[in-house]
């Protein structure tokens, strides 16, 4: 879930974060504020560095402690339940079609 969240925040396609950034940039370019789109893309690149660094530390760096992680069953259940809203960002087309139908 953390990997999915970090990729979405960084704007990696095909996550919902990518489409959010794409739609905002399309709207900004649509009103002829290209300079603002360039600034937004620049800040997005800087932000992606920090988000993807978390992924690098989680998956590619050597662990500090080799002991296995354990959690009580109720904690695993609650974390799974709260992480479930992140799943639409894997395939955002269904979510986007619902939003489009609601607007018009």
Distance between CA 57 and CA 24 in Å, rounded?
Answer: 30
**pLDDT values of the chain reduced to their tens digit, one per residue, 104 residues:** 788 888 888 988 888 888 889 999 999 999 999 999 999 999 999 999 999 999 999 999 988 888 888 889 888 888 777 776 666 666 677 777 888 888 87
In 3D space, the residue among 3, 43, 40 whose CA is nearest the CA of residue 22 turns out to be 40
Nearest CA to 4 out of 60, 54, 63 is that of 54
Instruction: Please report where in the chains the tokens 């997005």 appear, as a residue.
Output: 44
Q: What is the pLDDT of residue 34?
A: 95
**pLDDT score of 97:** 84
pTM strictly above 0.95: no
pLDDT value of residue 88 = 65
Phi-psi map region of 69: left, alpha, beta (phi>0 left; psi -120 to 50 alpha): beta
């Amino acid at each position: 879930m953390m990997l999915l969240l970090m990729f979405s925040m960084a704007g990696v396609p095909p996550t919902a974060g990518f489409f959010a950034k794409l739609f905002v940039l399309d709207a900004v370019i649509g009103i002829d504020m290209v300079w603002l789109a360039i600034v937004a893309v620049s800040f997005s690149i800087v932000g992606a560095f920090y988000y993807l660094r978390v992924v690098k530390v989680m998956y590619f760096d050597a662990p500090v402690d080799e002991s296995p992680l354990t959690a009580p069953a109720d904690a695993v259940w609650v974390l799974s339940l709260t992480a479930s809203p992140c799943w639409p960002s894997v395939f955002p087309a269904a979510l986007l079609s619902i939003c489009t139908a609601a607007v018009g």
